Amino acid sequence: MKQVFNPFLPLDEYIPDGEPHVFGDRVYLFGSHDRAGGKSFCINDYVCWSAPVDDLKSWRYEGVIYRRGQDPLNADCSHALFAPDVCRGPDGRYYLYYALDFVSVISVAVCDTPAGEYKFYGHVHFKDGHVLSSREGEPYAFDPAVLSEGENVYLYMGYCPYPPRHLMEVPKTYTNAWVYKLAPDMLTIEGDGKAIAPSFSNSAGTGFEGCEFFEASSIRKAGDRYYFIWSTYYNHDLCYATSLSPEGPFEFGGRIISNGDIGFGGITDENDCNNYIGNNHGSIEEIGGKWYVFWHRHTNGTSFSRQGCAEEIKILPDGSIPQVEMTSCGLNGGPLEASGTYPAAIACVLKSGMGTCRGDIPHGGAHPYITQDGEDGEEGATVYISNLKDGAMCGFKYFKGECNGRIEVTVRGSADGSLIVTDGTRNVAEIALSPSEEWMAFSAPVAANGDKFALYFKYAGGGCFDFLSFELNG
């Protein structure tokens, strides 16, 4: 049976800041493009992936859609392409909105098809011709999101680091997320911008306290409500606010997901949550009659190699979205089969014996991390969990069915100990490991079954090891 995991793209692909959009009978994923083991954000050019709306297990690579050197402000390619968004304009063409890292200008490219080769179109500006954010006191231009409804087009953006820091010669405003109405030409601002979500500096009494806007603007409409989505100062989560108008006012709703499961199941500690946390950026989309949240996780022990993941969500009749947990099955439509071979890199729980942490992980230290052998983009790269030591744990949620035969793990390293496998309530297997420089399989009897159960692998022993995959045999 064909299945799909989290992350749902190939394990050696790094697409963060995901903006999924349904155009016709396919969903297209737009986002930034990180590099395996990268030293900074969004080094690669924009690419696109798509899938049929009725088969989210079959993602297709659409190729490079825009190169950073195409923007006249970046002819020398010295700037990176940060988080983009795409919409279909009133003229039927597709418009790509983006910002070059910290240039503080919203650029636009255009294409006749969702995933073709976009061409530079212009920079968002006011009617007098001056470019948005080029004058003192204007909001910092960052992380654009765009909504097109007939002849009405709305641009959302903002950047509110705390404390504010001036990254440009011209002082900016770092106090809110903003919305601007655009003319049908998709470039010209009509009227004045409106503040729609507060930052730390002005949130008192707004209902946004503790979840103030930082970055990662996104916008969607569900029913008669508009959903503004962003990442907070804590950065690991995606929160939302709702309004009956695209220009607000917006009322705070809650958290949709955290890339450490903070806020779900009673987890509150950044240093002992379900995974290593860092920035988050994504959105929601209705696909085939169901709603999903797209977000990203961190790999390679850095903040600069992020991968897209997704989970189904529920929008309740009152418009609220309950927070969902990270899983390994994501877009699969339910738990994975309790038989077959699974890559260890789809772990949705990963921590050391000391817990977790935020940001970069020193290689060779206490913490495990997902990484790959082979250069970025190299065909056949091997992706695995590295540096598992005594007390480390990786978890996979969820499975269904009966597995009462054997479980086999493929590992390498200096480990001399045991992998204790549990379903969260009881031990279901214990696998003895011994040192091996090459990938080697070790197995043991297993007894796990149910309509929905997790598998957690916890190591006890000396040395450390890399974890490539596991096989369940009923």
Residue-wise burial string across 215-241, b where 16 or more C-beta atoms lie within 10 A, e elsewhere: bbbbbbeeeebbbbbbbbbbbbbbbbb
Instruction: Give the whole-angstrom CA distance, residue 23 versus residue 203.
Output: 36
Instruction: Give the whole-angstrom CA distance, residue 135 versus residue 107.
Output: 16
> The tokens of 217 are what?
């603007």
Nearest to 198 by CA among 187, 182, 209: 209
> The tokens of 2 are what?
């064909």
The CA–CA distances, whole Å, from 222 to 102, 226, 285 equal 32, 6, 9
Supply φ then ψ for residue 375, to 5 degrees: -75, 165
Nearest to 95 by CA among 73, 77, 68, 122: 122
User: Pairing state of beta strands 225-232 and 237-243?
Assistant: antiparallel
Q: Which helix (H) or strand (E) holds 339?
A: none
Instruction: Give the whole-angstrom CA distance, residue 463 versus residue 424.
Output: 25
> The tokens of 472 are what?
């369940």
Q: Which helix (H) or strand (E) holds 319?
A: none
Instruction: Give the whole-angstrom CA distance, residue 123 versus residue 181.
Output: 15
Burial class (CB in 10 A: 0-12, 13-18, 19+), 441: middle
Residues identified as active-site: 17, 215
Instruction: Give the whole-angstrom CA distance, residue 391 versus residue 272.
Output: 13
Tokens 């909105």 identify what position?
97
In single-letter form, the type of residue at position 360 comes to D
